[in-house]
Amino acid sequence: MKDYIEMWKELDLDLSAHDELLKVLSGFYQDIYLSQQDRPKGMGYFDFVMSEIHGLRVKELVEAKKQGQKVFGTFCVFVPEELIWAVDGICVGLCAGAEAGKEEAERVLPRTLCPLIKSFMGFKIARLCPFIEVSDLIIGETTCDGKKKTFEILSSFKPTYVMEIPQMKKQNDFNLLKEEVLKLKDEIEKTSNKKITEENLSDAIRLINKRRKALQRLNKLRQKNPFVISGKDALLVNQISFYDDPVRFTEKVNILCDELEDKIDKKQVQDKARILISGCPMAVPNWKIPHIVESSNAVIVDEESCIGERNTRELVDESGTTFEEMIENIVKRYMKIDCACFTPNEERIENIVSLAKKYNVDGVIHYTLQYCDPYLIEAYRVEKALEKESIPVLRIETDYSLEDTEQLKTRIEAFVEMLR
Amino acid sequence: MKTLGIDIGSRTVKAVLLKDKKVLSSFTTLNTYDFANIIKRILDELECDKVLATGYGRYLAKRDFDIDVVTEIKAFAVGVHHLEPRARTILDIGGQDTKVISLNERGDVIKFEMNDKCAAGTGRFLEIMAQAMGYKIEELGAEALKAQKKDLQISSMCTVFAESEVISLMARGEKKENIAHAVHKAIVTRVISMLKRVGIREYLVFSGGVAKNPCIRSLLEKELEISVHIPYDPQLIGAYGAAVLAGGIL
């Protein structure tokens, strides 16, 4: 860690508070991840990435910037990252999953606001996140009120560009997203001083598709019983996909998958409940619910969330040859995202039911972050749709604090007992 | 065979000792937060062949005494089903949480709801309100039933805010029993919405320490227009269920 202190100083982090954060994170990681039995060897790479999350990866970004590459920070799977990779830029996810900097965040934001938003704002104001600091441009979006109003405040700390996301899926909404994608393209070209061409865009589409395919492959493998990988580990790999270099990451995921394929059918079938998590994303290090679930005789076989299926399910059609066709294919792919910010949003409800059936789950845990109105409200219809299919549902609403761990344990354990 | 169930709740610790399905003895004590000592005393006094722990503090029993554990949801379901196989809905209001459990004819849990972090509308809430009005917790319900004026409202369910509402009503010169009635009404309104989320199917059993409060029961029956059945000792149901499960006599 000593090697990075100069770098962190240059990035103007609050060194002592940052030190504290890394200490807590590392203890947390030990308890939740490293203590697991029989982990695949291939997870070693991801453990390494996590141990170096604010170190080596940030150093790579700093070096890349010296070579003229630009870093773009995003908060949503709606930002078409293909455009960023096309100009040889680097895209990093900035969603945060810890309470660090909460007091700082509450100086500028209401207390009753989504913990994810408070978290990234807290990380920025308390100077705890090297990824925000290293970003040349933050690309926000208008998925929810909390985010769009917070970006107004964030922009006084960091250059922030906000793209508009439609709220419905009619023809004019497609047109809107297309216009927004083209405007974002201009912005990215301006920041990077490079042009997006048919050639580099086509390469970027293939690059990110490859990463999505590797994650789809992993998701298939986590379904196998006897379980070859824990749900927690699979979630971690998905979380890291937002930070890591896509070429290296894809290769490492495929190596992990090769190992998992060899492990199949070598053990007794395990008597554990199969759980699908649906709802809000779980950003690093928000492992509270997965840890409780997997300590309760259950395995999480899928996350329907943005850090999960929603990010990997759809590929961009690679058959486009002209610039126009490629943009059209990107827009089509991104319009399939079934975030709760849309209305109507039947696709999401249908998708959850179909995932539950496809993965043969015993129950669904609908997870929502506190004050996240779109997901909290949609939970009602999700629950009704699942009940109609006789699939048990447990609704959980929580934040990043650990105070409710015991109550959550009781509810989750009782849910798993109910499924057995 | 003698089996023991220990329910380590947030306010009290309960234990039930069974011999061949019959209750041999039981035990209730206020939680002193010295769990280990309480559990040790129970284990010393109530000798048994098998033991199972439930409740909020169950993992302490596992950690310190290597006792198997089960959630209170399951323990209540089993306890109630054994006492009353007709039961389809359980309302349990304990020291710090409220649960509604829906059962099928075999006594399996098919759905449940539980309050989260906040202790609003639980036993602890009643204790604090009783304290604010100078009542003992045991007499609070009976006093509330004496209320003449039944339209007073406590609008806040946050314990701290509700307490200040109670104090301002007292400062306005409202009679204590009328205020006590309003406090009970506030809890019942909240509980009914939880019951409705799970779905109310008769026969309804009301358990937990708060089931000892006659005003809550009476308001529930009035609002729901169904009978609310209370077991002989509603506070012991979790420990009883755990004792039944410990014996594997399901």
CB within 8 Å of A153: residues ≥ 6 apart: A108, A109, A121
Strand pairing class (B109-114; B98-103): antiparallel
How far is Cα of residue A93 from the mean position of the Cα atoms in its chain? 7
How many Å is the Cα radius of gyration of chain B? Answer: 18
Q: For residue A287, which of A33, A75, A21, A22 has the smallest C-alpha distance?
A: A33
Helices (H), chain B: 35-45, 58-65, 72-83, 123-133, 137-144, 159-171, 176-198, 214-224, 237-246
- Pull the structure tokens for residue A314: 């759809």
Q: Is the peptide bond before B203 cis (omega within 30 degrees of 0)?
A: yes
Q: How many whole angstroms separate alpha carbon A281 and alpha carbon A299? A: 18
pLDDT attached to residue A267? 65
Low-confidence ranges of chain A (pLDDT < 50): none
pLDDT tens, A283-323? 999 999 999 999 999 999 999 999 999 999 999 999 999 99
Taking an 8 Å cut-off on Cβ atoms, the answer to whether A397 and B114 are in contact is: no
Backbone angles phi, psi at B66, to 5 degrees: 55, 40
At residue B138, the pLDDT reads 94
From A397, A417, A418, residue closest to B116, measured CB to CB: A397
Helix (H, G, I), strand (E, B) or coil at B162: helix
pLDDT score of B250 more than 60: no
Q: Which residues pair with B69 in a beta bridge?
A: B53
CB–CB contact A392 B111 (8 Å): yes
Q: How buried is residue A39: exposed, middle or buried, by Cβ count under 10 Å (0-12/13-18/19+)? A: middle
What gap in Å lies between CA B157 and CA B163, rounded to an integer?
9
| Close Cβ partners of B177 (under 8 Å, ≥ 6 residues apart) | B143, B144, B146, B147, B148
User: Taking 70 as the threshold, does the pLDDT of residue B126 lie above it?
Assistant: yes
The yes-or-no verdict on residue B120 having pLDDT over 90 is no
Structure tokens given for B93: 């209001």
Give me the residues of B, 47-66, that contact A with CB < 8 A.
56
Confidence (pLDDT) at B35 = 84
- Are residues A147 and A75 in contact, defined by beta-carbon separation less than 8 angstroms? yes
- Residue B109 to residue A413, Cβ atoms within 8 A: no
Whether B226 and chain A come into contact, CB under 8 Å, resolves to: no
Q: Is A417 on the interface with B (CB under 8 A)?
A: yes
Residue A264 is predicted with a pLDDT of 87
User: Nearest CB to B74: which of A398, A406, A414?
Assistant: A414
A-chain CB neighbours of B71 within 8 Å are 410, 413-414, 417
d(CA B171, CA B159): 18
* Chain A residues whose beta carbon lies within 8 Å of the beta carbon of residue B74: 414, 417-418
Contacts of A41 (CB under 8 A, 6+ apart): A259
The answer to whether the beta carbons of residues A189 and A173 sit under 8 Å apart is no
Nearest to B71 among A397, A403, A417 (CB): A417
**Do residues B199 and A387 touch, judged by C-beta distance below 8 A?**
no
Nearest CB to B117; choose among A392, A403, A414: A403
Q: Which residue has the tokens 């190596």?
A: A255
- Judged on CB neighbours under 10 Å (0-12, 13-18, 19+), B225 is exposed
DSSP B46-78: S--SEEEEESTTHHHHHHHH--EE--HHHHHHH
Candidates A380, A383, A407, partner chain B, best to mutate (most B CBs within 10 A): A407
* Interface residue A410 vs chain B (CB under 8 A): yes
Beta-bridged to residue B51, according to DSSP, are B4
Q: Could you tell me the strand order of the sheet in which B109-114 lies?
A: B109-114, B98-103, B89-93, B204-207, B228-229
Put simply, the answer to whether B71 touches A407 (Cβ < 8 Å) is no
Decide if A411 and B114 are in contact by the 8 Å CB cutoff: yes
pLDDT for A1 equals 64
How sure is the predictor about B94, in pLDDT bands with cuts at 50, 70 and 90?
Answer: confident
Name the pLDDT band for B155 (thresholds 50, 70, 90).
confident
Question: In this complex, is the C-beta atom of B194 within 8 Å of any C-beta atom belonging to chain A?
Answer: no
Q: How far apart are CA B98 and CA A299, in angstroms?
A: 28
pLDDT at A269: 85
**Which residues of chain B neighbour A398 with C-beta distances below 8 Å?**
116
Q: Are B43 and B91 in contact (CB under 8 A)?
A: no
Q: Which residues of chain A does B117 touch, with a Cβ-Cβ cutoff of 8 Å? A: 403-404, 407
Residue A140: closest CA among A189, A81, A90, A74: A74
Interface-testing mutation among B7, B73, B118, with chain A (most A C-beta atoms within 10 A): B73
Q: What is the mean pLDDT of chain B?
A: 92
| pLDDT score of A2 | 67
Tell me how crowded residue A264 is: count the other CB atoms within 10 A of its CB.
Answer: 12
Name the nearest CA neighbour of A391 among A411, A354, A359, A364.
A364
Please name which of A65, A51, A57 lies closest in space to residue A23, comparing C-alpha atoms.
Answer: A51
Q: How far apart are the first and last CA of chain B?
A: 14
Answer whether B78's CB lies under 8 Å from B194's CB. no
Cβ within 8 Å, pair A392-B112: no
Residue type, A248: R
Three-class DSSP labels, chain A:
CHHHHHHHHHCCCCHHHHHHHHHHHHHHHHHHHHCCCCCCCCHHHHHHHHHCCCCHHHHHHHHHHHCCCCEEEECCCCCCCHHHHHCCCEEEECCCCCCCCHHHHHHHCCCCCCHHHHHHHHHHHCCCCHHHHHCCEEEEECCCHHHHHHHHHHCCCCCEEEECCCCCCCHHHHHHHHHHHHHHHHHHHHHHCCCCCHHHHHHHHHHHHHHHHHHHHHHHHCCCCCCCCCHHHHHHHHHHCCCCCHHHHHHHHHHHHHHHHHHCCCCCCCCCEEEEEEECCCCCCCCHHHHHHHCCCEEEEEECCCCCHHHHCCCCCCCCCCHHHHHHHHHHHHCCCCCCCCCCCHHHHHHHHHHHHHCCCCEEEEEEECCCHHHHHHHHHHHHHHHHCCCCEEEEEECCCCCCHHHHHHHHHHHHHHHC
pLDDT at B115: 80
Q: Are B56 and B96 in contact (CB under 8 A)?
A: yes
Nearest chain A alpha carbon to B116: A407
Q: Which residue of B has its CA nearest to A390?
A: B110
pLDDT tens for A147-196 read: 999 999 999 999 999 999 999 999 999 999 999 999 999 999 999 999 99
The partner residues of B103 in beta bridges, in order of sequence, read B109
Query: What is the 8-class DSSP label of residue B27?
Result: E
Q: Which residue, B20, B2, B28, is CA-closest to B237?
A: B28
Chain B: give the shortest CA distance to residue A410, in Å: 6
Reported ipTM = 0.89
> Using the beta-carbon criterion (under 8 Å), do B71 and A414 form an inter-chain contact?
yes
Does A392 contact B at CB distance below 8 Å?
yes
Strand B12-19 relative to strand B22-30, pairing: antiparallel
**pTM of the predicted model, to two decimals?**
0.93
> How many angstroms separate the CA atoms of A141 and A163, rounded?
5
Cβ within 8 Å, pair A407-B70: no
